[in-house]
Structure 1
């Protein structure tokens, strides 16, 4: 790792949501100060024509490298953060899974320390306010009806770092809890839900603005009962998450969602769990046993998909190679749009003067060859 007070990166193919240009950029004290086209005005570190994209922003991640955010263990959480950093994720939200409320509060309080240190961008409660019929890999015994007062206690435990909560819109108390979340500055996401089209619309009207991993853990699209997918896709106030690993969602459905929502309302997430970066075997997601075979994570009991072993660089490559997105569109859905969702687009998500120098250097094959965060090379090209 090397700290760079001032450096110019030249001979770069800089990718932005607006396009790709050959040029250069200067970094001083952790921020981009200049971005230009053509030859650099001074000697610098040549990238040899490689692509430079903004650091990836993952708003839904449960861990990796043996670390599981739901445990709240700080040491192994740091291992997970380091693994995903190597794959280009420079901003990450730690997602918890359903469990006893006191356990969730304790995990949030512990992870808040890592947020204070700048290692995490926030905490996401994916449960316990979700549907038993659509709970996926969550412990069904831990699920509860949403309660505004109870959720306010979880927010307090997170010391200002709770960024998002997933709620099934059809549950008793859901709409009031969505309003409580939004009023507390927390993103209300709708997911793990058996809601009708109309119930989902009510959740959006109450303030729901994100679809937790669209398609997964919700009823399929129906021509007579369109359900939550149609309601979430059609509403321009909603940003939809997609797990682009080739397991959770068929590429045709990735393309369908993108064609409807576009780069401004689509974010790719990993939904990664602790086995990410490790070999096949049996692992934990919250209290649930998970078997990973061929890189695919499923519950030991019942076989439900249990998160993923995806990293954001793989999601980026699949977006281009499989889903047919342009490089600029791929940058939008892996960096710019998730940064906007988190309210951080003034400081990250694109390569622009004044923003943090969070960068990923990619080869012609879109493999990660360098990662910079806040002007520090964590992987030097």
Structure 2
């Protein structure tokens, strides 16, 4: 059966104003101009969120498969057709059990992999990470997780100034796992050393990092200017001022900026009390903060809102679409499967109205209810 979706098609090379996506089975079979099209809807690739901790009242951080399935379903309704389940700093036993629990979901396609945000992070820049679980990187732990997951572990965030960090980055990249730099008090030089060792993602740039100083540019400048590093940006208006968002996007370009949600369970839920990594979180006016010290504790963002926020800040629609789909997919090795509207890729797409509100979502050739 062939399905055709018509509208303003956003492709990696630009917008086809009168376009058509042809879908056969679960795959895009053709993308073409279709002069008779009069439907004004935007057709964009399914969003790819490489950093999210949960949503819809459900969390990835406990390693529970049922919770993970429900959180992924919540984000799917908001256009996220591929996502990494991000865990926070935790004992190794939980990292092991989560890897085992999530591996079947990765094979099934519910998840695109696991992102371990910690525990190999800086105590000085831990943010909402639980300081009780922070420790130096362990190549033994990582090797065991990689073997246990058999392709499930896709990204690990590390603070490069911790003892053993460069060895850990080498191990990760040698096994095809993305090494990210984040929650770090590293100097510019230490960050550059991590990039030279193979680190290729900056975890929520600016947040959980030593601040920029004109005599010590720190990790932000090192990551923003490294040609092979993709910088995550949280476009929720809380993590970043819109001027900072547009500065980063214009400096690195949409091909090196990935919008993420960093969402926790409270995304899509009422204000109230929640939990993240064993720590109490209070959500007020949609902003999640640790109860103990007020640190930002993830977000309540969804990718469709991130896209609208980026466009409202002045980023052109085609660039913003690249930042929510194509760039993150390439950053974690999924670019050959998803992230763009082009023939041969999985038929993941989002139909948006002129206000960039979601009309319909398709994943693997099927419309989402």
TM-score range, shorter chain: over 0.9
Task: Tell me if the contact between 2:11 and 2:342 (Cα under 8 Å) persists in the aligned partners.
Answer: no
1:35-114 residue pairs with structure 2 within 5 A? 35-39=31-35, 48-114=39-105
Q: How far apart in 2 are the matches of 1:297 and 1:108? A: 26
Q: How far apart in 2 are the matches of 1:146 and 1:354? A: 39
Q: Does 1:255 align with 2:246?
A: yes
Task: Tell me if the contact between 2:188 and 2:221 (Cα under 8 Å) persists in the aligned partners.
Answer: yes
Task: Tell me if the contact between 1:276 and 1:309 (Cα under 8 Å) persists in the aligned partners.
Answer: yes
Unaligned runs of at least 5 residues, structure 1: 41-45
Q: Paired residue for 1:362?
A: 352
Q: How many residues align?
A: 368
TM-score, normalised by the number of residues in structure 2: 0.98
Task: Tell me if the contact between 2:114 and 2:154 (Cα under 8 Å) persists in the aligned partners.
Answer: yes
Q: How far apart in 1 are the matches of 2:223 and 2:252? A: 9
Q: Does 1:373 align with 2:363?
A: yes
Task: Tell me if the contact between 1:109 and 1:159 (Cα under 8 Å) persists in the aligned partners.
Answer: no
1:47 shift after superposition:
8.0
Q: Does 1:235 align with 2:230?
A: no
Q: Does 1:25 align with 2:21?
A: yes
Q: Does 1:294 align with 2:285?
A: yes
Task: Tell me if the contact between 1:24 and 1:39 (Cα under 8 Å) persists in the aligned partners.
Answer: no
Q: Secondary structure at the match of 1:369?
A: strand
1:335 shift after superposition:
0.5
Q: Does 1:202 align with 2:197?
A: no
- The Cα offsets for residues 106-158 of structure 1, whole Å up to 9 and x where unpaired, read as 11210111101110000001000000011111110101101111211122232
Task: Tell me if the contact between 1:87 and 1:313 (Cα under 8 Å) persists in the aligned partners.
Answer: yes
1:76-155 residue pairs with structure 2 within 5 A? 76-155=67-146
- The Cα offsets for residues 276-324 of structure 1, whole Å up to 9 and x where unpaired, read as 11101111111111101111000010110000000000000111112x1
Q: How far apart in 1 are the matches of 2:229 and 2:242? A: 21
Which of the numbers 292, 309, 332 marks the counterpart of 1:342?
Answer: 332
Counterparts in 2 of 1:224 and 1:290: CA distance versus 1, 3 Å: same
Unaligned runs of at least 5 residues, structure 2: none
Q: Paired residue for 2:321?
A: 331
1:34 shift after superposition:
1.5
Q: Secondary structure at the match of 1:245?
A: coil
TM-score, normalised by the number of residues in structure 1: 0.95
Q: How far apart in 1 are the matches of 2:157 and 2:87? A: 10
Structure 1 stretches of at least 4 aligned residues deviating more than 3 Å after TM superposition: none
Task: Tell me if the contact between 2:160 and 2:194 (Cα under 8 Å) persists in the aligned partners.
Answer: yes
Q: Which shifted more, 15-24 or 332-341?
A: 15-24
- The Cα offsets for residues 152-194 of structure 1, whole Å up to 9 and x where unpaired, read as 1122232321000000000000010010111111000000000
Q: Paired residue for 1:43?
A: none
Q: Secondary structure at the match of 1:133?
A: coil
- The Cα offsets for residues 179-238 of structure 1, whole Å up to 9 and x where unpaired, read as 011111100000000001111111111111100000000111100111111111111011
